A and B are shown apart, each in its own frame.
Chain A
Amino acid sequence: MSLTAPPKDWYIKKIARDEKGWIIFSLIICLFMFFWMILWHVYGKQNPSSITYTTTTAEFTQLHQAFSDKYKIGEDNNLPVVMPPAESDVFLLGQMWSWSPVLVLKKDEWYTFHLSSKDVVHGFSVQPINMNFMVLPTYDYTIKFKPTETGEYKIVCNEFCGIGHHMMIGKIVVVNDESELGQYGITKTN
């Protein structure tokens, strides 16, 4: 009875065969799941980065501006369209309520993303592949991405950031080469 003191022999009572078997089986599954996460770091291809830099909103905005100016190829809805070379650093800035700039990336190339916010906490959610990371002010989250499919992707903000939260949406285009830009409504102007 769970409302009264346990029977005298409660501590020495033998554990039944099925209960003992279940506990051992559960423990094996638990350890399997734990080591699976570690092994995925060795053999898996999707692992969150452990690299973060502290920054200030002013410093990061400057880095983002310099990056946008350097690799700008055109404009889309008043946002710069930026096509950085493979292997380069990409500074993506979230703020109420936009992601800047619009990015053009090449398929199967690595890019080092730097994610930060100019104001409050935002959520970096790339659709439709459904890949999600957090973006915090004063922290530069440094993650390497390799796009594996061409196409148009949207960055939805999925952390509440004020009344215009639902309007915060950005764009990433992944291409094989520059000739495909027209398909995504991007004209190269410089």
Chain B
Amino acid sequence: MFRTCDITGFKVCLASQKLIRINAVFAVVSLLIAVLGAILLVFTRWQEVHLLSSPWYYRILTLHGLNALIFWIVFFEIAGLYFGSTVVLNTRFCSPLLGWVSFILMAGGFIMVDVMVLQGKADVLMTSYVPLKAHPLYYLGIILFAVGALLGVGLFFGNLVKAKREGNVGESLPLFTFGLMAAAIIAVMTLLSGAVVYVPTFLWSLGLIESVDSAWYRLIWWGLGHSSQQINVAAMIAIWYLTASLTVGGNSVNEKVSRIAFLLYVLFICIASAHHLLVDPAVSSTWKVWNTSYAMYLAVLASMIHAFAVPATIESAQRRKGYTNGLFEWFARAPWGNPAFSSVFLAIIGFGFIGGITGVIYGMEQTNIIVHNTMAIVGHFKGTVVLGTTLTFMGITYYIIPLIFRKKIVAFKLAKIQPWLFFFGIAILSVSMIALGMFGVPRRHWDITFSGAIFSHDFNPVIGIFWVLMVLGGVVAFLGALIWLLIVVISVFFGPAVNGPEDFQLSIAEPAPQADHGHKFIAPGTLVASLIFMAALLIFFFLNWKWLSAIWEIQ
């Protein structure tokens, strides 16, 4: 059963639309739990308030991590995979029944895990490093969720096969779906790592296996924990290209280059789970250097390629539409009133300048010594997962509401401000956390005044200002997230219906004219911005190696 979309012209499979909707709803519920947890955590880490007790701090930290990093993102990605493999390809869903089985497994696992955590039966944090032990149902919940997600990824491939058989795709997939396919391949590796690590851990929690080795656990667990963030990177960048098309009518300046960059992700990005083992026993420096650098930084190269290609796609389209003055007229005249565009552009900036730069440098073997398990790491991944992935997903939701849920966006004026609030909030929070980490403040720590301990340590008093900034950023970001959640929930459940193109508040841009825009460079503004980015990276690189050289000598 299909309907033909009166806005985009796509044939929308109704069974697929239902599955996209239900997975997206659960994604939003997960994000709501994560965001409520986040604000409690911010006010606990800030010692002036120190809101939660020690057990509840670690409990809510476990809850926040799982809901933000796993449930919100994977539910959303499954919805995205279904969209990219059916609606975009005008194809029907290969097996709606299995789609529902996948959803029920995921939802069951999600509920099981959250209930266990809130009952205090899994105070082990998201990483649950053995030999810390949680209730068996906690591990079972994660296994069910992972199996459900793996089935969902399998259905994505099934949809591609169906589309091909029915002649809906030619020789090449659209770039958006191609990017999603890269994410799906990475997802298979990631979810299998999850099965390999959690099945023995589950049996151990039941008492059927005597012990699980702690070094082995960390190695395999990060095959799930880190690689799942690499699924996000691929999915997020696929959405960046999609948004460039929808908002300014741009097409990748060179599809071959963009596709090769996705291929580099598939080949190399998963080995970077070594980032988490750089100061671990049991693995050698040779292993660390090779893996942490994604085999000579070939996956970083892929990100650098996208970092140029996505803004260049937007710039080139804008220039061909006539915005050719100076280096940045295309930028100033971009559709900033479209919340999807502003979300994505801010996500590109945040992901690159905050998440990307810190990620590359903290992920080097030796510099990791001065940041491992400090707040700087948390600051880094707020830059990648929150400013990058979450803000991107928030942005594209402004298209999903009218196109998939067929509802108008309520409080559209507020929606235009929301990405800015969220961006500046998280950016301030993230940079403050990075600064705190530089002064040695540990992550996952309830009380850095060490109450009740035999010794104490006074951190540099300058950190006081960064705690205040972190709280400030946290509150602003919380408001930004809350506005988004309210807009989405009210629009979807109580909003006026979209009955035709006249109710569509965003726009879908016409493809930009094909003709050359006459400049000898395809995207001179982007080139200048990219060079500024590289300069920032190199400055941060040398600063960190300078700081490293000031500590004790280590062999």
Measured CB to CB, the residues of A under 8 A from B are 1-7, 10-11, 13, 15-19, 21-23, 25-27, 29-31, 33-34, 36-38, 40-41, 44-50, 52, 77-79, 97-98, 110, 115, 119-121, 123, 125-134, 136-141, 143-148, 154, 156-171
A114 to chain B, nearest CB (A): 10
In the assembled complex, the Cα of A9 lies from the Cα of B440 at a distance in Å of 53
Are B452 and A167 within 8 A (Cβ)? yes
Are A128 and B254 within 8 A (Cβ)? no
Known: A2-B244, A26-B301, A30-B298. A19 touches B254 (CB 8 A): yes
- Kindly name the residue among A15, A127, A140 whose own CB sees the greatest number of chain B CB atoms within 10 A: A127
B436-467 vs A, Cβ < 8 Å mask (1 yes, 0 no) = 00111011111110111111110110000000
- Contacts A18-B312, A98-B454, A139-B282 supplied; 19 other A-B pairs, CB < 8 Å: A5-B172, A22-B305, A26-B304, A30-B297, A30-B300, A33-B293, A45-B553, A47-B554, A48-B365, A97-B453, A126-B552, A131-B552, A134-B279, A136-B218, A137-B214, A139-B214, A158-B374, A166-B447, A167-B452
Known: A10-B256, A19-B312. A159 touches B373 (CB 8 A): yes
In the assembled complex, the Cα of A133 lies from the Cα of B365 at a distance in Å of 12
Are B281 and A10 within 8 A (Cβ)? no
B85 to chain A, nearest CB (A): 12
A154 to chain B, nearest CB (A): 4
Chain B residues whose CB sits within 8 angstroms of the CB of A27 once the complex forms: 301
- Kindly name the residue among B241, B370, B444 whose own CB sees the greatest number of chain A CB atoms within 10 A: B444
Are A2 and B175 within 8 A (Cβ)? yes
In the assembled complex, the Cα of A160 lies from the Cα of B530 at a distance in Å of 39
Are A123 and B373 within 8 A (Cβ)? yes
Q: Does B541 contact A (CB under 8 A)?
A: yes
In the assembled complex, the Cα of A157 lies from the Cα of B442 at a distance in Å of 8
Are A47 and B366 within 8 A (Cβ)? yes
Q: Which residue of A lies closest to B454 (CB)?
A: A77
Q: Can you name 24 A-B pairs with beta carbons within 8 Å?
A: A5-B174, A7-B251, A10-B255, A13-B256, A16-B522, A16-B523, A19-B309, A22-B527, A23-B257, A33-B360, A40-B545, A46-B366, A120-B131, A120-B214, A123-B373, A132-B372, A133-B372, A134-B277, A134-B280, A137-B131, A146-B552, A167-B450, A167-B451, A169-B455
Q: Does B125 contact A (CB under 8 A)?
A: yes
Are B374 and A130 within 8 A (Cβ)? yes
Chain B residues whose CB sits within 8 angstroms of the CB of A147 once the complex forms: 552
In the assembled complex, the Cα of A156 lies from the Cα of B372 at a distance in Å of 13
Are B242 and A44 within 8 A (Cβ)? no
Chain A binding surface, main DSSP class: mixed
Are A132 and B369 within 8 A (Cβ)? yes
Q: Does B469 contact A (CB under 8 A)?
A: no
Chain A residues whose CB sits within 8 angstroms of the CB of B368 once the complex forms: 132
B109-117, B190-198, B284-292 - interface stretch: B284-292
In the assembled complex, the Cα of A110 lies from the Cα of B554 at a distance in Å of 9
Closest 6 CB pairs of A and B: A30-B297, A141-B281, A158-B442, A16-B522, A26-B304, A130-B440
B211 to chain A, nearest CB (A): 9
Chain A residues whose CB sits within 8 angstroms of the CB of B296 once the complex forms: 30-31, 34
Q: Does B215 contact A (CB under 8 A)?
A: yes
Q: Does B472 contact A (CB under 8 A)?
A: no
Q: Which residue of A lies closest to B278 (CB)?
A: A48
B119 to chain A, nearest CB (A): 16
B203 to chain A, nearest CB (A): 19
In the assembled complex, the Cα of A166 lies from the Cα of B238 at a distance in Å of 42
Are A120 and B174 within 8 A (Cβ)? no
Chain B residues whose CB sits within 8 angstroms of the CB of A22 once the complex forms: 304-305, 308, 527, 530
Q: Which residue of B lies closest to A128 (CB)?
A: B440
Q: Which residue of A lies closest to B511 (CB)?
A: A1
